[in-house]
Amino acid sequence: MGNASSIDSSVVVYLEVSGKQEKIVFSKHCSSRDIHDLVAQAAGCSKYCILTLKDPNGAHISMSPTMPSNTPSAPYKVQVSQPTSNQGDSEVLTQLMTHVADQFNKAFKVEEMRSEISTRLTALERKLEMEGLKAVEIEKCKKDISEIKDQIWTAQKKFVDFNRMRPLLYGSNTHDHFYSSLSDERKICLKRDIPSYPKYTLSQETIDYLKQPTFDIWHWEPNEMLSLLEHMYHELGLVKEFSINPITLKRWLLCVQENYRNNPFHNFRHCFCVTQMMYGMIHLCKLWDYMTREEIGILLTASVCHDLDHPGYNNTYQINARTELAIRYNDISPLENHHCAVSFQILCNPETNIFANLDKDGFKRVRAGITQLILATDMARHSEIIESFKSKLEGKFDFKSKEQLDTLKMVLIKCCDISNEVRPMEVSEPWVDCLLEEYFNQSDREKMEGLPVAPFMDRDKVTKPTAQIGFIKFVLIPMFETVSKLFPQIDETMVQPLRLARDRYEGMKEQTTPPNPKSQKDQAAKKDGE
């Protein structure tokens, strides 16, 4: 691709609002909720209003990523209506408060029931998995587990009903967090049964290949990626280290997968990509010689969770648009703080808590370690973390110092998070397309909302070579070269591929850059002189 502007999966729709024409642009990867909010913004009304779209023939149009584009001469008419009630405000409020009080009581009972049921469920699953039971006993256990899960699902549905009442109680100005996955029990709680993905038998070739930076992550289906992640926890001894119930590990991985959004770049495959590179670095650098198994578990788990529920719009957008996340976290790493919050909300659920068997101090260490590493992935902190690491390398690096080891772990997760160009070109280049698509979606939205647009995200200014050359030269190569001072073995497998990637993109840039007339004239004059 010569020019990155050819990457375009946006949909353009023209609207008519009270006789005035408006235009919205959205990605095919947007959710219906995002599109609804864009239409509401164009209509100048609250996003909690009821909106209807009709084509020029009066047919209703669904607000979804698959809605057809139209033309300025045939815009969709937007009809806005507010929820109405035939009852007086006082009567509605009284009924609402009564219902809410009712739901509060149910919610408390639900939590009580969940605690008791989870204890029974864990005991049954352990018994079923660890002991050699007779066929009749196994069937009885399975029946009991099925009944317990039915009770949990019924209880969750009642609790969800209470969550739905909140916007009505607090009014139409309720913030987005009522619709975010962070407060959405239906999303955080696992929807699928365990095990719902097949158990794959991995060949020795795959097991060895999984440890290599050259691993091609594009050839694996979601269920296969889950099995590969599961294998990593078993192979590194983390299941034993943390006394993880294997069924809980499966359940946790499924829940993590469900809480990655279908963004062009920040999706579950990116999560797997980063975790696989971390797994490769653990083996390549033999990190178990320098760290405890607990610390290796923190590295791997932070990699799995590092972009949970990423909305596809970066911190700059969150802050400039004054989103609910930016407000909640006071403009300080809003996305990374959100990823941490979702990670531990999943781990708060006994059904998906892989650290359930740690003691209080152990869990506290793991929580602090994972939080520290996820927060370190904010690129706004890049210089701070790298300079700190460099200063620690000036003398002899002390692996027994907690402060120095923490800095090393932060640098390692940063390396893995942005390591695509370490991989072979056929693996890395599609990621550039995915990233540019996500950037272009954001810059299109920023233009529409009148927000500042970063040049490297603007489809009219950036190309694939210009996007990558500076990043590889000034961010990736210096960072990986610094790590290679501590682990020389990564120079050949990681630093050298980065240099080759830089040279390749510089060659692409030369091919796509128009020749300089003055330079051509000078070269011609030189040739004549010869």
Closest CA to 286 of 47, 430, 45, 489: 489
Confirm if 25 and 42 have CB atoms less than 8 A apart.
Answer: no
Distance CA 46, CA 136 (A): 59
Residues in the chain: 530
Peptide bond into 514 cis (omega under 30): no
> Active site includes 339?
no
- Judged by phi (left if over 0) then psi (alpha if -120 to 50, else beta), residue 175 lies in beta
Element (H or E) spanning 526, and its range? helix 517-529
Q: Give the C-alpha separation, 417 to 165, whole Å.
A: 39
Sorted by sequence, the CB contacts under 8 Å of residue 27 that are 6+ apart come out as: 9, 10, 11, 65, 264, 312, 437, 441, 444
Closest CA to 257 of 224, 280, 281, 233: 224
Bridge partners, residue 137, by sequence: none
Pair 1, 431: CB distance under 8 Å: no
Q: Are the CB atoms for 63 and 35 separated by under 8 Å?
A: yes
For the record, the structure tokens of 129 come out as: 């998995």
Give the bridge partners for 27, in sequence order.
10
CA 71, CA 23: separation in Å to the nearest integer? 10
Catalytic, out of 266, 306, 310, 339: 266
Cβ(422)–Cβ(494) under 8 Å? yes
Q: Which two tokens stand for residue 65?
A: 């990523």
By annotation, the residues acting in catalysis are 266
